[in-house]
Amino acid sequence: MTTDTHDDGTDDERPDAQSPGGGAAPEPEPISPAAPEEFGLVQAWWGDGKGKTTAAMGMGFRAAGHGYRVHMLQFMKGGADSVDAVRGEYNAIAAMPGFSYENAGHYGWHGLLDGSADGEHEAKARAAFERAETLVAGAREADLSTPFPLDGDPDAGVHLLILDEILYAADRGLVDADAVVDLVESKPDGLELVVTGSHDEPTYLDGVADLITNVRKVAHPFDDGQRARRGTEF
């Protein structure tokens, strides 16, 4: 640690520039309920690259760190023989004030001949879509300009709603793409809505979403037979 002495005789300490890292770590602040001032956009994350859900959850943690109420509803991700039932993100979300989640997926992945029943995938996706409608309706009824209890019921309103893999469900024909557009357009102005999924471009969101990001694969270890790894994929 290096000490700098100012002209007025006061000192402050800073990390030594020669030490590993050499950067400062700002002191964290307590998390208390707050309301965002500029939320209300629609974000879509799609593509054949890894990181769509990770990016959405990263935004969720960032928002929750400011005291905003965040909820994630997952379509499709019901598990597989290579993935733990309780994933690392679920434990992390459970430990984060203001962030909650629910999983409406069915075992396996639709159309991949992995032993899962495609009819069950469709039923689960329909039920998840109805649940998404309920969550958006709850946000419409809420005053999104006010803080919400960090442990509050997401049905009573959230500031940030993540619909993970809903675009994948639409890509597979398990939910109707036009219905996804209707859902997005029905959201209240103050709700930040994040939708993820699909390797195919969701052109139906052109002019509907404010931010559309294509997460493009350059290389992926799955192509070489690497299975999902604890701590990176689940």
Across 38-66, average pLDDT: 96
The pLDDT of residue 13:
55
Name the residue with tokens 């309706």.
137
| pTM score | 0.84
Which residue bears the tokens 């409608």? Answer: 133
How far apart, in whole angstroms, are the C-alpha atoms of residue 118 and residue 106? 9
Class of domain 36-224: alpha beta
- Domain locations along the chain: 36-224
pLDDT band at 112 (very low <50, low <70, confident <90, very high): very low
User: In this prediction, what percent of the chain has a pLDDT beyond 70?
Assistant: 79
pLDDT, position 25 = 85
Q: Which alpha helices (DSSP H) does the chain contain, by range?
A: 52-65, 88-94, 118-141, 166-171, 177-185
Say which range, 3-12, 142-151, 160-169, has the weakest mean pLDDT: 3-12
User: What per-residue confidence (pLDDT) applies to 22?
Assistant: 73
Q: C-alpha distances in angstroms, 29 versus 13, 26, 65, 66, 67?
A: 21, 9, 9, 9, 10
pLDDT at position 2 is 47
